[in-house]
Amino acid sequence: MGMIEGVLIAESIKLGAELSGIPLTLDSVRRVAATDATADQPKAWTLINFRAEQVEADQLAARFAEILDAPGWYADFHTDSDVYVVFPGKVFRYSRGDRAGREQTTQHARSIGFPDSQLDWTD
């Protein structure tokens, strides 16, 4: 069975929201200076690198769409074949290497105020 690999920024979670019921393996947790933070984002972020079973991908994407705060946040993860980029209330999923899928996701991110420097998810 394949694995999900991704990153969640702790500060992106709505106040009072909880992510539970999906088994995640934490690979690392680290704090970084957010040199390209928007006005709606703090200047330091806590990056949570995680893994999970691929079978959990759709459920995890749906949960991220519920718990991510707006404006200004997304979470991303990928399987061996697909990329998931999740915004508050909206999930994008496309095949790895699919330029049209990435462009559609990028256009959405730009339309809601993300600077190009933050559109750095892994395909």
Global pTM exceeds 0.85: yes
Which region, left, alpha or beta, applies to residue 56 given φ > 0 means left and ψ of -120 to 50 means alpha? Answer: alpha
Q: What is the pLDDT of residue 1?
A: 67
What is the DSSP secondary structure assignment for residue 103, as one 8-state letter?
A: H
Domain locations along the chain: 3-114
Backbone angles phi, psi at 111, to 5 degrees: -65, -20
Strand partners, 44: 33
Checking if the pLDDT of 52 tops 90, the result is: yes
Pull the structure tokens for residue 119: 């559109």
Q: Which pLDDT tens digit goes with each residue over 1-51?
A: 689 999 999 999 999 999 999 999 999 999 999 998 998 899 999 999 999
| CA count, 13 A, side-chain hemisphere, 104 | 15
User: For residue 114, what is the DSSP state?
Assistant: -
